[in-house]
């Protein structure tokens, strides 16, 4: 029976189980998988399936971070205002200082 499921790629550690042995006796395998359908994949496009590092068990933590796709917002910046004569750069500490965050003031 076709269920229409696709493999959801994992990020992080490539193995989800190991026998906690070293050398030639070490066995590592990817036993856990996440399966989704195309509708889910299209809706939750920015989601991640993460495999952490095991600490006290032979299994690591598996985390599904679900993020909805973000569409275009309602914010619009009209760049022509930056070319007006009364436009000054403001960063919260004073005018004309080069800091990564900033705001703009328009003189009336």
- Higher-confidence position of 108 and 85: 85
Query: In the chain, where are the structural domains located?
Result: 5-65, 77-108
Q: pTM for this one?
A: 0.44
> Do strands 48-51 and 34-37 pair parallel, antiparallel, or not at all (unpaired)?
unpaired
Model pLDDT for residues 39-70, shown as the tens digit of each residue: 888 888 778 777 776 666 666 677 778 776 66
In this predicted structure, the answer to whether residue 101 has a pLDDT above a threshold of 50 is no
pLDDT at 58: 64
Distances (CA, A) of 61 to 12, 34, 52, 57: 11, 14, 5, 9
């Amino acid at each position: 029976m076709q269920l229409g499921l696709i493999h959801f790629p994992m990020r992080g550690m490539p193995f989800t189980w190991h026998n906690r042995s070293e050398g030639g006796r070490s066995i590592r395998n990817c036993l856990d998988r996440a399966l989704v359908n195309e509708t889910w994949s299209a809706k939750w496009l920015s989601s991640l399936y993460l495999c952490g590092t095991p600490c006290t068990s032979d299994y690591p933590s598996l985390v599904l971070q679900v993020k909805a796709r973000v569409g275009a917002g309602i914010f619009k910046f009209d760049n022509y205002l930056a070319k007006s004569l009364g436009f000054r750069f403001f960063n919260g500490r004073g005018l004309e200082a080069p800091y990564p965050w900033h705001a703009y003031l328009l003189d009336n």
